[in-house]
Each structure stands twice: as structure tokens, then as C-alpha cells.
């Protein structure tokens, strides 16, 4: 933070601006002043008690507009208080992670002086975002200057301004110094060592750090597979016995990989304080609309939307739409197969170089079309899910993910399944798997990083020119930087990045026993992916707000489902292999039954394995249990006055504890962190024996 504080001395405000609010050009002065007051006002008056600087937004010199950009910063004490409100977890003196409280800030590790540098920038910006989001309307019936924009007590002001288009943009500022250092340590020196995870987290927050770690973890996990795969390719081991081995390895691999990742991410999340972090009371998402009603939980008046209506929209519109799209994608697939056969027929008529090339055309076209359809569908799904009008961002995300996953799965893999199990043409399968994989990878890289970057460049040039016209060749001042960043496109979250990895995971785990080189290709892709993603985060997109994540959420489930499907496909592929068939000369039934039997055993084994491996490493379970124990002790010593309240607090822990604990994993492995930790208490020899 220090350098952040000292960074903007040239022409900037006196405080370190952390977050930018860009209002619409034509915003009423009345509104702006009101907003400024609310933001700067004392907390007991319902303000956010933050620092604000008002600067001129884009293209002012043409049409003398009013200063419509607000730079928000904060003092250290305020940030620390905020950290407590947000429920941030920091490392305590005894090495455990605890909810930070201002009152005993001194007893937290590396808290010096006034706490300068105790929070990293991402956290500061997250806190400010939280404070702004929870800036609630008091008596105002509408936004001053906009009688139409209704407000009601307790409504988040910012959310309302966003949903009504008065607040155009809302993003955290880049910190050039930090960014330079980060991008250098991240991708400017090509190396095989791990990424600077902590720096990433400090700058972009846990959510993104977790994604990049996953990307890395996945890539490394693929290495053994790739190594095994290469000889298959080089020496063209057509021998299927080997493929059988490969497939079996494949299955174990995917299960173990996912379980290990779960443990690993739990460990990371604990170290980052997000594992134990309470999900803050989730605000309704900006898009959500409804009529004023009583919220049964908070008892407050706020817009509510009948879940029945939502259900209707989902089942009567969304579901049919998805099904239609699936039908279309299958239809396109059949067209592709027609093209295939057509190309083949031409090739056989006169086999020369050009017709040979022609053979590849169909699958390349198909790959492009697939990518295109995915893209198109992606937007449709977003619009649709938006229209379903979910109250919370989380459930919005879940429904979106579900829609997109189903379609992408069918769209990408249907043709391969068809080739494998209907046409049973392993050569074609291998051939089109390769084409699909490679084409889609190339397309991805282009769409993701280079295209946006190129557009970015052109925009920046314009801005630079303009800026130079104003103030010659002085160092780019804050205002200009703000404007540059506000022109960048917004990063829409890790969704698409995870989706890509999900599909790659599919290619590898579903069919790699037929095309062992897949793993290698994916590794190559991911190695560039790391850099292009890193680059796009640093230079293409606006800096995103950090979201504290403790796991990869729905994606864990998605990957696990995929690996379950992989078991089935791999077994089937093995069953189809001529060598295996050879073992059962006359009786096909025999063969099938054995394969099915093996498949069931493998599936069972897989589930048991996933069940046995505890999701949270023991030493962390112990730490968690320790704090739980301490808090119980604390309760015993509680004063009467606080009795009622603390009981409630405990209650939280209880519903919190009980509701999920229906997952029986708990019961069997006694994963109540407590029990387990105690179980695992080490010890020595035993004189006191029975």
C-alpha cells in the first residue's frame, strides 16, 4: 500500500484512490452531490465514511460536461473497521486464522503501527466495494434528481444506480507499480516454476488466484499422462492391450486428481482465510426486480419475486430452449458427417494432394462452427438466465453454468461419441479428436487474448493522442490513467476460463485412450494459456474486484461428473477394441457382460475412493477444531447480558453446521472437524492399557 499511497502525488488527489465510480455523462448535479454526501458521511449517519475525489470524465474538453467520475479511497482506520465488518480472516499470533477485529488488531500477525500494509490492495478495494454496496437508502423515496428511480429504506443505493444506468461503471484502479512487479514475476520471464500465487492473490484476490492455481495443478497433473502417451504415438502402438492399461490408468488418474485438488484448494483457502470466512449477507443482484414485499428472513420490506413464477420461466421456457439448441447442434453434427463422406468420396475418385487436404476441411469447418455455436449459445443462456430473474448472484451463476455446461458438452463431444460408438471407426475418432482439439485451442487463444488486446491497443492509441494534445509529454497523470482503464473491457469472471478447462478435461479423460497425444496437446495449450490469461488480466481487461473464494464451487462438481462419465466411455472403448474382443472368440455376450461388470466395479471403486479421501487435510481439521473448542470454552465464561445474543450466534454455527451435514461423508468419517482431529491426536506407547 505504501507505494500505492505515494504513487499519485503528481496531480492526483491526496489520498490513494482505490475504486472508480463513473456516472453517466448527463447525471444531475443534485444526484452527484447527494451521492458524494452519502459516501463521505459519518457511519452513524448511515454514510460510508470514505474519501472521495471528483474528476472530469472522458472527452470533457469537447462538451463541457460536469465532473462525472468519482475516485474513492479511505483512511487506514476506516479500512480496518471495514475489514471487521466484511469478516476478513487474518493470521493470528498463534498461527491460526481468525476473524479480524479492530479491538484486538494488535494480536494479529504482521500488524504494525497503524496497520499500514496489513491489508493488501485487493482486500482494501474489496472492503470499499462492500462499504459502497451496503450504502443503504434511508428516508429517501427516490434518487434525488430522478423522481422515477424509486428507493425504499434499506435498498442498496449503488445497486439501484447501477440497475438504472446512472452508475455506468464501477471498478478498482490498477496500481501501476504493483502491476509492473506482478507481470514481471508472472509471465515476462518465461520459466517452468510455479506462478507467483501470493502476488496474484494480493493483486487480484482469491477467486482468480484459485483459478490460476487450478490451471497449473491440472496441467502438472497431465504430465504423467502425456509421458505415457508419447510412446504410444511415436511407436504407433496400435496394440489395444496397451490402450486398456492406459484407460484404466486414466480412470484412477481423474479421480485422484480431483480429490487431491479438493484437499489442496482447502489448504490454500485456509491459508487465505477464505475457508472459514462467512459468506457475507448476499445483496440481491443489480438485475433483480420484484414488487415490494416482506422478506420472510430479514423481515425487511424489499422487492420479492415469487419462486413459482421463476420455476415456470425455467421449466416452460429455458428448458425447452436448451433442448431445442441441443437438437440443432445434433443436426449440425449430421451435416458434418455428410460433408465427411462427401470429402471421402471425392478423395477416392482421384486421390491427389488437394483432395487429401480436402479430407481435413470438414472437421476444421465443424470445429469452427462448434466454437461459434458455443459462443452464440453462451450469450443466449446469459440473457435467458437473466430473464429468469434470480435474486442472488450465486443462484444466477449456478443456473447459467448448468445451462452452458449441458450444451457445451453435447456440442463438443456428441460427434466423438457418435463416431466412437455408432460408427465404431477408431481411426476417424482419432483424426477428428485431433482436429477438434487443435482448432478449438487456436481459436480460443485468438478470441481470448489477441483479439481483445489488438482492439485495446487501437483504443489506447486514441486516448494517448488525446491526452498528449492536452498536456504535452508529461508523465501520464491519474485522470488519463483512469480514463484509459475505464475504456478497457470488463473481465466477466472466471466462468469462461473454467469452461475451457472443463472441455479440455473432457477431451483428455473421455477419449485419450484412443488418442494418447491429447494430454500433451492440452499441456501445450495450458502452458500458453497461463501466459495469455495472465497477460489479459494485466493489460487487456479492467482490474476486477476480488471475490473471496474458498473452492472452485460448481466446477468441482462438473469435473467430477465428467470423470464419472469418463469411466463409462473408457470401458466401452475397451470393449470395442479388437484385441479384447479376441479374448472372447465366439460369445459377444460374454465380452459385454465382463466389460459391464468391470465398469460397475470401477465406478464403485471410484465412489469409495472419493468417499475415503477426506476433503480437508488433517492438520487443518485440527486447527479448525481447535478454534471451535476455544469458542465453546469462551461461551462457558460468557456474561449473562450477552447470553441471548451469543446463543443466537451459536445458533448460526448450528444451522450452519447441521444443514450441510446431511452429506453423510460426515457421519462415516466423523468429519466433524472436532471428532476427526481428536481421533488423530498422536501419542506414544501404552502402559495404562486395558
Write out the binding residues for its own copies, residues 597-616 only, by CB under 8 A: 600, 615-616
- Candidates 64, 458, 465, 685; binder of its own copies (CB under 8 A) is 685
- Separation of alpha carbons 30 and 272, rounded Å: 42
Between 85 and 140, name the residue whose CB sits nearer to its own copies.
Answer: 85
What are the E-state strand segments in 411-495?
A: none
Question: Kind of pairing, strands 146-150 and 97-99?
Answer: unpaired
- Candidates 95, 113, 147, 296; binder of its own copies (CB under 8 A) is 296
- 236-265: contacts with its own copies (CB under 8 A): 262
**Closest approach of Cβ 301 to its own copies, in Å?**
11
- 148-187: contacts with its own copies (CB under 8 A): 150
Between 73 and 673, name the residue whose CB sits nearer to its own copies.
Answer: 673
Residue 233: which residues within 8 A CB-CB, separation 6 or more? 516, 517
Question: Kind of pairing, strands 51-55 and 97-99?
Answer: unpaired
Among 122, 280, 274, 135, smallest CA distance to 203 is for 122
**Closest approach of Cβ 562 to its own copies, in Å?**
13
- Candidates 44, 103, 139, 189; binder of its own copies (CB under 8 A) is 103
* Site track 353-392 with its own copies (rule: CB under 8 A), x = hit: -------------------------------------xxx
- Separation of alpha carbons 476 and 67, rounded Å: 19
Decide: helix, strand or coil at residue 667: helix
- 559-578: contacts with its own copies (CB under 8 A): 560, 568
**Closest approach of Cβ 639 to its own copies, in Å?**
8
- Candidates 181, 466, 539, 626; binder of its own copies (CB under 8 A) is 626
Between 202 and 399, name the residue whose CB sits nearer to its own copies.
Answer: 399
Applying CB under 8 A, the span of 179-187, 422-430, 448-456, 674-682 interacting with its own copies comes to: 674-682
234 counts as binding its own copies under rule CB under 8 A: no
593 counts as binding its own copies under rule CB under 8 A: yes
- Separation of alpha carbons 19 and 225, rounded Å: 45
Between 166 and 449, name the residue whose CB sits nearer to its own copies.
Answer: 166
- 412-431: contacts with its own copies (CB under 8 A): none
- 82-101: contacts with its own copies (CB under 8 A): 85, 87, 98-101
**Closest approach of Cβ 556 to its own copies, in Å?**
6
Between 41 and 628, name the residue whose CB sits nearer to its own copies.
Answer: 628
297 counts as binding its own copies under rule CB under 8 A: yes
- Separation of alpha carbons 233 and 382, rounded Å: 41
- Give Cα separations from 134 to 84, 137, 150, 284, 532 (angstroms): 14, 9, 17, 11, 35
- Give Cα separations from 528 to 190, 364, 508, 532 (angstroms): 10, 21, 18, 6
Among 269, 261, 158, 264, smallest CA distance to 205 is for 269
Alpha-carbon 568 to chain mean position: 28
Between 190 and 659, name the residue whose CB sits nearer to its own copies.
Answer: 659
Between 304 and 332, name the residue whose CB sits nearer to its own copies.
Answer: 304
Phi, psi for 321 (deg, rounded to 5): -60, -50
- Separation of alpha carbons 472 and 223, rounded Å: 53
- Residue ranges of alpha helices (H) inside 273-352 are 307-312, 319-349
Between 266 and 325, name the residue whose CB sits nearer to its own copies.
Answer: 266
632 counts as binding its own copies under rule CB under 8 A: yes
Between 84 and 487, name the residue whose CB sits nearer to its own copies.
Answer: 84
Residue 224: which residues within 8 A CB-CB, separation 6 or more? 253
- Separation of alpha carbons 543 and 538, rounded Å: 8
- Separation of alpha carbons 421 and 469, rounded Å: 65
- Separation of alpha carbons 2 and 576, rounded Å: 65
- Candidates 179, 369, 576, 666; binder of its own copies (CB under 8 A) is 666
Between 252 and 392, name the residue whose CB sits nearer to its own copies.
Answer: 392
556 counts as binding its own copies under rule CB under 8 A: yes
Between 297 and 427, name the residue whose CB sits nearer to its own copies.
Answer: 297
673 counts as binding its own copies under rule CB under 8 A: yes
213 counts as binding its own copies under rule CB under 8 A: no
683 counts as binding its own copies under rule CB under 8 A: yes
- Candidates 144, 493, 553, 617; binder of its own copies (CB under 8 A) is 553
**Is-contact 39 135, C-beta < 8 A?**
yes
45 counts as binding its own copies under rule CB under 8 A: no
- Give the DSSP H or E segment for 51: strand 51-55
47 counts as binding its own copies under rule CB under 8 A: no
233 counts as binding its own copies under rule CB under 8 A: no
The three-point CA angle 617-618-622 to 5° equals: 125
**Closest approach of Cβ 551 to its own copies, in Å?**
7
DSSP string, 357-407: HHTTHHHHHHHHHHHHHHHHHHHHHHHHHHHTT-SBHHHHHHHHHHHHHHH
303 counts as binding its own copies under rule CB under 8 A: yes
406 counts as binding its own copies under rule CB under 8 A: no
**Closest approach of Cβ 232 to its own copies, in Å?**
28
- Candidates 40, 183, 267, 295; binder of its own copies (CB under 8 A) is 295
Question: Kind of pairing, strands 301-304 and 291-294?
Answer: antiparallel
- State whether the Cα torsion 65-23-201-211 is positive or negative: negative
Q: How many residues bind its own copies (CB under 8 A)?
A: 125
Among 363, 394, 581, smallest CA distance to 493 is for 394
**Closest approach of Cβ 15 to its own copies, in Å?**
26
Applying CB under 8 A, the span of 11-19, 179-187, 530-538, 671-679 interacting with its own copies comes to: 671-679
Between 164 and 181, name the residue whose CB sits nearer to its own copies.
Answer: 164
**Closest approach of Cβ 236 to its own copies, in Å?**
30
460 counts as binding its own copies under rule CB under 8 A: no
Amino acid at each position: 500500500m505504501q507505494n500505492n499511497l505515494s504513487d499519485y502525488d503528481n496531480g492526483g488527489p491526496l489520498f490513494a484512490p482505490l475504486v472508480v465510480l463513473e456516472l453517466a455523462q448527463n447525471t444531475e448535479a443534485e444526484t452527484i452531490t447527494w451521492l458524494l454526501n452519502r459516501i463521505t458521511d459519518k457511519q452513524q449517519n448511515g454514510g460510508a465514511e470514505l474519501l472521495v475525489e471528483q474528476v472530469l470524465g472522458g472527452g470533457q474538453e469537447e462538451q463541457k460536461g460536469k465532473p462525472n467520475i468519482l475516485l474513492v479511497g479511505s483512511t487506514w482506520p476506516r479500512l480496518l473497521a471495514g475489514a471487521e465488518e466484511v469478516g476478513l480472516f487474518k493470521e493470528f499470533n498463534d498461527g491460526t486464522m481468525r476473524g479480524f477485529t479492530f479491538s484486538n488488531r494488535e494480536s494479529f500477525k504482521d500488524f504494525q503501527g497503524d496497520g499500514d500494509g496489513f491489508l493488501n490492495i485487493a482486500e482494501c478495494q474489496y472492503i470499499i466495494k462492500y462499504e459502497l454496496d451496503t450504502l443503504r437508502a434511508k428516508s429517501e423515496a427516490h434518487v434525488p434528481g430522478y423522481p422515477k428511480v424509486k428507493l425504499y429504506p434499506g435498498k442498496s443505493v449503488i445497486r439501484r444506480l447501477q440497475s438504472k444506468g446512472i452508475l455506468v461503471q464501477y471498478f478498482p484502479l490498477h496500481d501501476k507499480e504493483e502491476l509492473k512487479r506482478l507481470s514481471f514475476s508472472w509471465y515476462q520471464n518465461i520459466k517452468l516454476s510455479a506462478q507467483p500465487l501470493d502476488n496474484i492473490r494480493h493483486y487480484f484476490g482469491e477467486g482468480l488466484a484459485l483459478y490460476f492455481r487450478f490451471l497449473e495443478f491440472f496441467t502438472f497433473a497431465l504430465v504423467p499422462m502425456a509421458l505415457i502417451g508419447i510412446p504410444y504415438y511415436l511407436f504407433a502402438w496400435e496394440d489395444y492391450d496397451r490402450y486398456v492399461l492406459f484407460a484404466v490408468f486414466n480412470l484412477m488418474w481423474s479421480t485422484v486428481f480431483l480429490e487431491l485438488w479438493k484437499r489442496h484448494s482447502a489448504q490454500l483457502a485456509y491459508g487465505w482465510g477464505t475457508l472459514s470466512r462467512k459468506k457475507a449477507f448476499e445483496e440481491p443482484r443489480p438485475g433483480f426486480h420484484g414488487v415490494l414485499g416482506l422478506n420472510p428472513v430479514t423481515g425487511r420490506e424489499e422487492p420479492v419475486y415469487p419462486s413459482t413464477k421463476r420455476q415456470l420461466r425455467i421449466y416452460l421456457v429455458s428448458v425447452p430452449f436448451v433442448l431445442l439448441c441441443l437438437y440443432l447442434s445434433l443436426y449440425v453434427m449430421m451435416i458434418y458427417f455428410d460433408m465427411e463422406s462427401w470429402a471421402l468420396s471425392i478423395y477416392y475418385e482421384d486421390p491427389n494432394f488437394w483432395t487429401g487436404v480436402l479430407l481435413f476441411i470438414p472437421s476444421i469447418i465443424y470445429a469452427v462452427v462448434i466454437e461459434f455455436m458455443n459462443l452464440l449459445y453462451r450469450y443466449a443462456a446469459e440473457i435467458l438466465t437473466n430473464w429468469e430473474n434470480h435474486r442472488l448472484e450465486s443462484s444466477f451463476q449456478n443456473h447459467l453454468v448448468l445451462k452452458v455446461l449441458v450444451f457445451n458438452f453435447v456440442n463438443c463431444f456428441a460427434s466423438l461419441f457418435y463416431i466412437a460408438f455408432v460408427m465404431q471407426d477408431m481411426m476417424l475418432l482419432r483424426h477428428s479428436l485431433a482436429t477438434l482439439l487443435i482448432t478449438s485451442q487456436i481459436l480460443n487463444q485468438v478470441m481470448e487474448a489477441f483479439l481483445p488486446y489488438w482492439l485495446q491497443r487501437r483504443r489506447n492509441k486514441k486516448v494517448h493522442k488525446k491526452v498528449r494534445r492536452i498536456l504535452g509529454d508529461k508523465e501520464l497523470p491519474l485522470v488519463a490513467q483512469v480514463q484509459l482503464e475505464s475504456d478497457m473491457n470488463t473481465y466477466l469472471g472466471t466462468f469462461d476460463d473454467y469452461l475451457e478447462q472443463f472441455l479440455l478435461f473432457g477431451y483428455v479423460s473421455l477419449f485419450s485412450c484412443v488418442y494418447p497425444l491429447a494430454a500433451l496437446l492440452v499441456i501445450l495449450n495450458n502452458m500458453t494459456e497461463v501466459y495469455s490469461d495472465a497477460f489479459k488480466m494485466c493489460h487487456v481487461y479492467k482490474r476486477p474486484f476480488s471475490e473471496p473464494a474458498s473452492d472452485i464451487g460448481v466446477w468441482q462438481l462438473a469435473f467430477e461428473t465428467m470423470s464419472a462419465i469418463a469411466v463409462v466411455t473408457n470401458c466401452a472403448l475397451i470393449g470395442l477394441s479388437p484385441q479384447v474382443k479376441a479374448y472372447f472368440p465366439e460369445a459377444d455376450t460374454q465380452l459385454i457382460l465382463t466389460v459391464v461388470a468391470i465398469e460397475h466395479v470401477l465406478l464403485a471403486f471410484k465412489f469409495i475412493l472419493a468417499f475415503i479421501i477426506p476433503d480437508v487435510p488433517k492438520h487443518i481439521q485440527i486447527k479448525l477444531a481447535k478454534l471451535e473448542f476455544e469458542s465453546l470454552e469462551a461461551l462457558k465464561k460468557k456474561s449473562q447480558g450477552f447470553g441471548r445474543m451469543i446463543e443466537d450466534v451459536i445458533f448460526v454455527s448450528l444451522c450452519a453446521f447441521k444443514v450441510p451435514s446431511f452429506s453423510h461423508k460426515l457421519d462415516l468419517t466423523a468429519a466433524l472437524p472436532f471428532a476427526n482431529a481428536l481421533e488423530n491426536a498422536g501419542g506414544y506407547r501404552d502402559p495404562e492399557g486395558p
